[in-house]
């Protein structure tokens, strides 16, 4: 039941042309008539037809962003920064959540394309050629983050491999010589896009192998606490648990406390992401920090540049650093 300019014209006793002139602030209309038309339009709750205008103009000033979820704080922090930058540049943002489900991701991208978003920021769960050619056929600017696609889609994130190398070096410098690497997403290899978990895994293995007396285990299963329990009981020496995300490190810390295993006295613990929740956790978790706001802002900027048909770098990497906490011994 939307008000049309025709109805306004009838109520004001003028032509539709006159109404259009008033509403679009064009000349050729006397000020009193203009004021009257604007007042009537306001009273009726008239809205210019944005969708119809979009069809004509060919853009909607709308961006889509596809995230796995916003349970993980790192994604909600990233979204806040993305949304703020988009808004500053005159875009409204549609957030959709794939829940790491490949079919759902496709459905949502289709939905966004149906609604003619001007561009999509994508954390991909899909990864094959078919998916990439689907994206290319959409003729819609797409920028990826978090996971990578093989095709020509700009990517913004951090250097995950180097960040884990730095983590291993940090733990080694503190005297740890046996590391347990916890990364449950690795178990989805071949089933979904795990570019980032694989980068981190490769960095871990390379860095450990470069240290002669370093022993290590990789735990990729869903019930990682069970495997961790076995490994802790079967091993000794100065050991640390390195988790591929803070969300796992928090679960491990909670479990260690329940088992009365003291951190860092009996075992070291390190996370990745420096999510804001860590503010409230004791002992303070050693982790890898990176400027997630810079990623969110940069993501919006890259996407809008692509929409404006500007050249952008294929890869933008944001700096990271190890943040020493109390969960690793001095």
Q: Enumerate binding residues for its own copies (CB under 8 A).
A: 1-2, 43-45, 47-52, 54-55, 60, 62, 69-71, 76-77, 79-80, 83, 87, 92-97, 104, 108, 111-116, 134, 137-139, 250, 253-254, 257, 276-277, 279-282
Residue closer to its own copies by CB (options 45, 330) is 45
CA atoms within 13 A on the CB side of 131: 20
Q: Provide, rounded to whole angstroms, the least separation between the CB of residue 234 and its own copies.
A: 27
Nearer to its own copies, 9 or 117 (CB): 117
Please tell me the distance from the alpha carbon of residue 110 to that of residue 217, in angstroms, as a whole number: 41
Q: How far is the CB of 128 from its own copies (least distance, A)?
A: 16
Q: How far is the CB of 5 from its own copies (least distance, A)?
A: 15
CA dihedral defined by 139, 145, 150, 151, rounded to 10 degrees?
20
Burial class for 113, CB neighbours closer than 10 Å (0-12, 13-18, 19+): middle
Shortest Cβ 280–its own copies spacing (Å):
5
Would you mind telling me the total number of residues written for the chain in this entry?
330
Taking the complex as a whole, the smallest distance from the CB of residue 182 to its own copies amounts, in Å, to: 16
Residues 6+ apart with CB under 8 A from 257: 263
DSSP 8-state code for residue 185: G
Measured from the CB atom, is 101 or 162 closer to its own copies?
Answer: 101
Please give the torsion angle defined by the CA atoms of residues 91, 94, 97 and 101, in that order, rounded to the nearest 10 degrees.
-90
Based on CB atoms, which residue is closest to its own copies, 172 or 275? 275
**Identity of the residue, 115 or 262, whose beta carbon is nearer to its own copies in the bound complex:** 115
């Amino acid at each position: 039941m939307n008000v049309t300019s025709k109805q306004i014209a009838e109520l004001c006793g003028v032509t539709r042309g006159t109404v259009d002139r008033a509403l679009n602030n064009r000349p050729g209309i006397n000020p009193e008539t203009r004021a009257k038309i604007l007042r009537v339009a306001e009273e009726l709750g008239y809205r210019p037809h944005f969708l119809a205008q979009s069809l004509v103009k060919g853009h909607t000033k709308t961006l889509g962003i596809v995230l796995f979820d916003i349970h993980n704080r790192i994604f909600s922090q990233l979204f806040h920064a993305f949304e703020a930058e988009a808004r500053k540049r005159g875009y409204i943002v549609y957030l959709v959540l794939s829940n790491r489900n490949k079919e759902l991701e496709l459905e949502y991208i289709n939905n966004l394309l149906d609604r003619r978003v001007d561009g999509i920021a994508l954390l991909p769960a899909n990864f094959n050629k078919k998916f990439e050619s689907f994206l290319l056929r959409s003729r819609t600017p797409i920028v990826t983050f978090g996971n990578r696609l093989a095709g020509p889609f700009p990517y913004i994130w951090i250097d995950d491999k180097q960040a884990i190398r730095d983590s291993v070096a940090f733990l080694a410098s503190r005297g740890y010589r046996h590391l347990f690497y916890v990364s449950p997403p690795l178990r989805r290899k071949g089933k979904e896009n795990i570019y980032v978990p694989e980068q981190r895994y490769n960095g871990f293995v390379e860095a450990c192998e470069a240290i002669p007396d370093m022993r290590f285990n990789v735990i990729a299963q869903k019930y990682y606490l069970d495997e961790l329990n076995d490994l802790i009981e079967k091993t000794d020496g100065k050991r640390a648990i390195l988790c591929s995300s803070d969300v796992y490190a928090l679960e491990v810390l909670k479990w260690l406390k329940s088992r009365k295993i003291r951190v860092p006295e009996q075992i070291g613990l390190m996370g990745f992401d420096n999510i804001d929740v860590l503010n409230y956790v004791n002992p303070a978790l050693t982790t890898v920090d990176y400027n997630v706001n810079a990623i969110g802002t940069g993501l919006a900027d890259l996407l809008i540049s692509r929409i404006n048909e500007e050249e952008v770098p294929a890869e933008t990497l944001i700096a990271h650093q190890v943040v020493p906490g109390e969960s690793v011994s001095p």
